[in-house]
Amino acid sequence: MCSEDRNKIFNLIQKYLTDVPVILMGTGVTIPMGIPGMWELAEYLKQSLGEKYSDNIGWKNVVSDLDSKIDLESSLTSKDLSKELVRDISVETWKFINTTDLQLLAKLKNCTYISSLADLIKYFYSTSKKNVNIITTNYDRAIEYACDRVNIPIDKRFTGTYMKTFSTSPIKHKGIVNLFKIHGCLDLFSDSDSLVYSIPLQHDTPDGFVPAIVAPGTSKYEIVLNESYNRNVLGNLDSIINSASCYLCYGYGFNDSHIQQPMLEQLRTGKPIVIASLAVLDATIELIKKYSSNFTIIQRDANDHTKTHFTTVDNKISLDGDFWSIGGLLSIIK
């Protein structure tokens, strides 16, 4: 591939991300850091819940799907699962992800993936407004760790020190990274009155609480956290998405309609989007093509893993290098 093509695609990406984008991050960000993905979680859930629910028809159907190589999200969707089983799925998911997250914290100083993520956030934060809005479906704390690495303040909508309560104060638009964890977080727990608290860095679920996370496969609109919390977060989310001039998605699979639909509607108006991941599903590419005329999709070349494949509205090219990675993407836009 000639240097002219390389410069053309790099210039296009730089143009699309001239302004600070709303950043949407999925598990593709954290899997390289050691945080397990859905396949690893599925195997863990089969082991941890197998004995208790060995005679449960709903769980048997889930396991049958998983054994047939159907993904966890699809396996859990539209199954007749009891409230107790859904709760146990959330609890076991929290245990599994939390263990690996705390291991990541222990080696934070020497984690190159955290450093790359920190550099990316710092790059966009270093504008005149010093304001970055990040949306994530992840439960883990990798984004928070990355911000700490580069001393950038972060707002997760909770106030306090150890037992934090949800804040309904207006979103800040300067001097902050606003982080929206719309499926919950490892630090969030619900009490018996369904009130949500942030209790940081717990090794076990505090007495009298349950993890406040949306389990894989459950309805994304199900009130599993708290009605006031959900309404406020989703309302702010729509405002942030609608007011953005561009979007950057990294490691996100586009399977959450309540997040992506407002963004897709904005893409119809011509707002640009850059999508980067190790691999992007064909269904995601077709979805973006349907809504956007200003996009670049960056992923590892399926046939040659030493190359990066770029897809735009009118072109497909491969270049030597791992430009799909966070560090590689940063090398393009800096």
- What is the residue extent of each domain of the chain? 18-271
What does the pLDDT read at residue 159? 93
| Helix (H) or strand (E) segment spanning residue 72 | helix 72-76
pTM for the predicted model, two decimal places: 0.94
DSSP label of 279: -
Measuring CA to CA, which residue among 110, 132, 138, 159 is closest to residue 27? 138
Taking a C-beta distance cutoff of 8 angstroms, is the pair 176, 154 a contact?
yes
Chain-centre distance of CA 182, in angstroms? 9
Mean pLDDT over 201-214 rounds to: 94
| Helix (H) or strand (E) segment spanning residue 274 | strand 273-277
What does the pLDDT read at residue 133? 97
* pLDDT at 217 > cutoff 90: no
Mean pLDDT over 10-33 rounds to: 96
Mean pLDDT over 196-220 rounds to: 87
CB atoms within 10 A of CB 117: 27
User: Which position has the higher pLDDT, 79 or 139?
Assistant: 139
What does the pLDDT read at residue 3? 77
* pLDDT at 224 > cutoff 70: no
Read off the tokens for 17: 């991300």
Binned at pLDDT 50, 70 and 90, residue 32 comes out as very high
How far is residue 225's CA from residue 70's CA, in Å, rounded to a whole number? 27
* pLDDT at 2 > cutoff 70: no
* pLDDT at 53 > cutoff 80: yes
Mean pLDDT over 293-320 rounds to: 94
Angle at 231 (CA atoms; ends 228, 234), nearest 5 degrees: 140
Mean pLDDT over 291-306 rounds to: 95
Mean pLDDT over 46-62 rounds to: 94
DSSP label of 21: P
Least confident range of 92-96, 128-132, 325-329: 128-132
* pLDDT at 255 > cutoff 90: no
Strands 307-312 and 295-300: antiparallel
Phi, psi angle pair for 235, to nearest 5°: -65, -45
